[in-house]
Structure 1
């Protein structure tokens, strides 16, 4: 027995949700990056430019790397995870403000907007990582770590941390829109204290003890420990993962309260 035409083309709830998510991702990319791939390329290359400007400054001043004999590798291993964390946490927060009108449609929930931006940022982050690795190879630097699995775990932890803090930021700006500026200033402080330009373990023990409560610093050290296993860098991976998961859980619980605030 042949089904009616309407029944044949009726979508299941799962298919409908994927369709909404796909539409949000496409809209996000087109509104932020323009219709061409060049706009998206600029966003991918922007954190890479940040890394290589830092390397160029230290190379021009002929400053030695705090660890190892390769400036480019030292700064890249610290800057990439910290920047990925900061970009994900910031862009997830901005997605709510940029896509607020979409939440008035019954098919689109605030969580869908957040999830679509998270997926875009994960892909963008991995593409930026590939660009950095490619440039390191081009300048004669070996980007393969002594322990690839540890390096990848540190990088994934940075993404997870960005998602967790990003969801917290979504909840905060639902009540305090000015937090976007506040978080930008806080990110500068976080970046400076995350060990991108120095080796935190060389700090006095009393200072280093408190610095390790910064999960972004632990992400940078996590990746660096894969490249410099002889440095004796100790990373509390469980602390970073639990911090990220706890932040994401709190943020998701608060999002339902933000929905009514944004709808008002």
Structure 2
């Protein structure tokens, strides 16, 4: 008797969840088909692009006979820096582009801007993870052990890179609502962030005054965070609270602007 009385309240909740998951699944499929041409080759190119970026750096420094600033492997050094930075930058850029590319879908009452953002985020997380597995596979095939000394630290740094990408991406959505040209401006901004992040050098080897300024760049923090998993003896102090709070604050501000500003402008 009591079990049957609970069905009317639980059924609508399950129905709403099923409908939401159906919408999210449709958005993910549409995103992959429109961006990658519905082709496995198109998706493979997107996965392999950051992988090519990493190993191009390795080849350049190998041909120039430049040793890694720390450790014995150039590939591990560059991969441990480039993977988290590219993960953060790709997510923040693609989340920003998701809204402008899928704006007509939000005219349907079942689809919200947040759904579009979340669908693109899931696609980028899977894409980034496949790229990471590809990097690991290539390193293993080359006889290089890609496993960090402290896996927990390295994984936490990678997860923080994802969280930072989502936070910056949601703020980018709000900025683009006011300044559409920011999509191009953000590319230039990302170049500066990348060059100062420490992918190709160790920031703590710089003069203390310069290093103190660079530490305000959250990309520097996530690079050092991941690298500490590979080089525990590196001798840096990551500000974990600053990095996590920066990502969470960016996400909160972005969601607030999406709800109270962007939604009203586009409604």
Partner of 1:3: none
Aligned residue number for residue 132 of structure 1? 135
Q: CA deviation at 1:15?
A: 0.8
RMSD: 1.3
* TM-score, normalised by the number of residues in structure 1: 0.94
Aligned twin of 1:74: 77
1:156 aligns with 2:159: yes
- Equivalence for 1:40: 43
User: Displacement, 1:41?
Assistant: 1.1
CA contact (8 A) 1:175 1:261 kept: no
What corresponds to 1:201 in structure 2? 204
Report SS of the residue matched to 1:12.
Answer: helix
Of 82, 100, 103, the match for 1:100: 103
2:30 — aligned with what?
Answer: 27
Q: Distance in 1 between matches of 2:240 and 2:47?
A: 27
> d(CA) in 1 for partners of 2:16 and 2:207?
57
2:252 alignment counterpart:
249
Match of 2:192 in 1: 189
Cα offset, 1:262, TM superposition: 2.4
Q: Structure 2: how far apart are the matches of 1:21 and 1:79?
A: 30
In 2, the alpha carbon distance for the partners of 1:119 and 1:171 equals 20
* The one of 256, 259, 263 aligned to 2:263: 259
Question: Residues of 1 paired with 2:243 and 2:131: CA distance?
Answer: 22
Provide structure 2 residue ranges, at least 5 long, that are not aligned to the other structure.
1-11
Aligned-partner Cα distance in 2 for 1:50–1:97: 27
Matched residue, 1:115: 118
For residues 110-155 of structure 1, the C-alpha deviation after alignment (integer angstroms, 9 at most, x for no partner) is: 1110110011111111111111111111111110111000000000
- Per the alignment, residue 6 of structure 1 pairs with none
After the TM superposition, which parts of structure 1 deviate over 6 Å for at least 4 consecutive aligned residues?
none
**2: CA distance between counterparts of 1:191 and 1:114?**
23
Secondary structure (helix, strand or coil) at the match of 2:99 reads helix
Instruction: Provide the rounded CA distance (Å) in 2 between the counterparts of 1:46 and 1:233.
Output: 30
Distance in 2, Cα, partners of 1:233 & 1:135: 29
SS at match of 2:32: helix
- What SS does the aligned partner of 2:123 have? helix
Q: Provide the C-alpha distance between the structure 1 equivalents of 2:241 and 2:130, rounded to a whole number of angstroms.
A: 27
